Amino acid sequence: MENRLKVLRAERNWSQQDLGERLEVSRQSVNAIETGKYDPSLPLAFRIAELFDLPIEEIFVSPSRRSSKAI
């Protein structure tokens, strides 16, 4: 799933390791989410949203909205 995690992280000058520690997940988890190779569970998505103080849909791009835009 496309997301703005890398941009949000970069704005705060956090490394993937820093973000992983804040979310209590591994660095490779952050890497997998950022690159869209892994979609986080709803609880983890909420933790990410709460950390950045943003609604989930401002971090993760809904796949259905993305495909409807493409049409």
Partner 1 sequence: MNSTAAAKRYNGRMIWLSLLYAAFLLFAVYGFKHHLVDGLLAWLVAILPALPIIGIFAAMGRYLVEEQDEYVRMLLVRQMLWAMGFALSCATIWGFLEGFDMVGHIDGYWVVVVWYFGQAIGGLANKLTLGAAAGC
Q: Could you say whether residue 1 binds partner 1 (CB under 8 A)?
A: no
* Nearest by Cα to 51 from 13, 5, 15: 5
Contact 36, 1 (CB under 8 A): yes
Cβ of residue 66: shortest distance to partner 1, in angstroms?
21
Contact 51, 25 (CB under 8 A): no
Q: d(Cα 29, Cα 47) in Å, to the nearest integer?
A: 14
Other C-beta atoms lying within 10 Å of the C-beta of residue 40 = 21
Using the minimum distance from each CB to partner 1, give the nearer residue, 37 or 65: 37
- Interface pick for partner 1 out of 1, 4, 18, 25 (rule CB under 8 A): 25
**Residues of span 42-71 touching partner 1 by CB under 8 A:** 44
Cβ of residue 5: shortest distance to partner 1, in angstroms?
13
Q: Which residue ranges make up the site for partner 1 (CB under 8 A)?
A: 24-29, 31-33, 35, 37-38, 40-41, 44
